[in-house]
A and B are shown apart, each in its own frame.
Chain A
Amino acid sequence: MKNLNRKIWTILIGIILLVGVAGTAFIYFPKDKPEMVEIYKDGTLVKSLPLDSEYTEIPVIDEEKENIVVISDEKASMKYANCPDKLCVKQGEVGRSNTPIVCLPNKVVVKLSGGAGDVDAVTK
């Protein structure tokens, strides 16, 4: 009985570690190169641009919440944000992975998506 419990726990933790490693690898090395950058504010798409645009700065301003998203060199990053933790700015650039850049306090999400065919309608 004791040995069974031991096995259960070791296997469980092993699975969690495995999923964590595999999932992380999958996310940071995806097969397809994303084409579009989508910027969401409060859950709504506010801007959608191709990833290979020329250097572009996109301000996302709403009352006191300010964010500036930058697309350059086929990468997107958060150049500036007036949130307290600035984790979004410290995150650096995303160019290949599916992980979004998120500014939680200001509710801004910058996401890369597969291609123009992904969205049916885009607000500009």
Chain B
Amino acid sequence: MSRLKIKRVVLCGILMAVALTIFVLEAQLPPITPIPGIKLGLANIVTLFALAFLSPKEAFLILFGRVVLGAIFAGAPSTLLYSLPGGIFCLLVEMMLIKCFGTKFIWGISVVGAVVHNLTQLAVASMVTKTSEIFWYAPPLLLSGAVTGLLTGFAVWYLCERFGERIRHLIK
């Protein structure tokens, strides 16, 4: 394996570990509200970072590893049913938006990603419970998605704007 590839693989491994750690730690915090699905979602900082500085394939790998391992370590594996589709759609949408707008608006892209993620989880939940009542949760989730999306989005945005060049140089 070439030196370049080894570097990338190691980097992906480290990022996956970072995302997993953030995820598990966050899961230990007491729930802010009883509404299912409202979290800080800080692990998405890593996902966005991967989309901004690495390839979509690597971002997907990191996400997949984090979600699967996270479900095993910190949550019931049943949460996978909701996190996986949510995470995948979120990643796809964010990937396309970054391709169109670049990283300058990653704070907004993060919000859209969070909203997509939450709505996907609601859709899965409504299929599981076979009711549509669950969509009453949509407005609070939209609000929390917007707020947490801005939080994580601005964190990555700051990285991109201030250290973008440095990071790209290091990763190369």
Stretch at the interface among A46-54, A60-68, A99-107, A114-122: A99-107
Chain B 50-91 near chain A by CB (<8 Å), digits 1 or 0? 000000000000000000000000001010000000000000
Residues of B within 8 A of A26 (CB): 139
Q: Is A58 an interface residue (CB 8 A)?
A: no
Q: Report the interface size for chain A: residues with CB under 8 A from the other chain.
A: 36
Please determine whether B105 and A100 come into contact, CB atoms closer than 8 angstroms: no
Tally of contacts, chain A with chain B, CB under 8 A? 98
Residues of A within 8 A of B144 (CB): 20
Chain B 85-127 near chain A by CB (<8 Å), digits 1 or 0? 0000000000000000100110110011001000000000100
Q: Is B136 an interface residue (CB 8 A)?
A: yes
Interface of B is mostly: helix
Choose one: A23, A43, A87; the contact of B129 (CB below 8 Å): A43
Residues of B within 8 A of A111 (CB): 131, 133
Chain B 129-151 near chain A by CB (<8 Å), digits 1 or 0? 11101101111101111110010
Q: Report the interface size for chain B: residues with CB under 8 A from the other chain.
A: 33
Choose one: B35, B112, B133, B136; the contact of A91 (CB below 8 Å): B35
Please determine whether B108 and A19 come into contact, CB atoms closer than 8 angstroms: no
Q: Is A42 an interface residue (CB 8 A)?
A: yes
Please determine whether B108 and A13 come into contact, CB atoms closer than 8 angstroms: yes
Please determine whether B129 and A107 come into contact, CB atoms closer than 8 angstroms: yes
Please determine whether A23 and B134 come into contact, CB atoms closer than 8 angstroms: no
Please determine whether A87 and B139 come into contact, CB atoms closer than 8 angstroms: no
Q: A107-B129, A111-B131 are in contact. List 18 more A-B contacts (CB 8 A).
A: A9-B108, A13-B108, A16-B111, A17-B147, A20-B142, A20-B144, A20-B145, A22-B139, A23-B138, A27-B136, A42-B130, A84-B78, A99-B35, A100-B131, A102-B36, A104-B128, A105-B78, A111-B133
21 A-B residue pairs with CB within 8 Å: A12-B112, A13-B146, A13-B150, A16-B145, A17-B143, A17-B147, A20-B139, A20-B142, A20-B143, A23-B142, A42-B130, A85-B76, A88-B34, A90-B34, A98-B136, A99-B35, A99-B140, A100-B133, A100-B134, A102-B134, A104-B129
- B-side residues, CB < 8 A to A, are 31, 34-36, 76, 78, 101, 104-105, 107-108, 111-112, 115, 125, 128-131, 133-134, 136-140, 142-147, 150
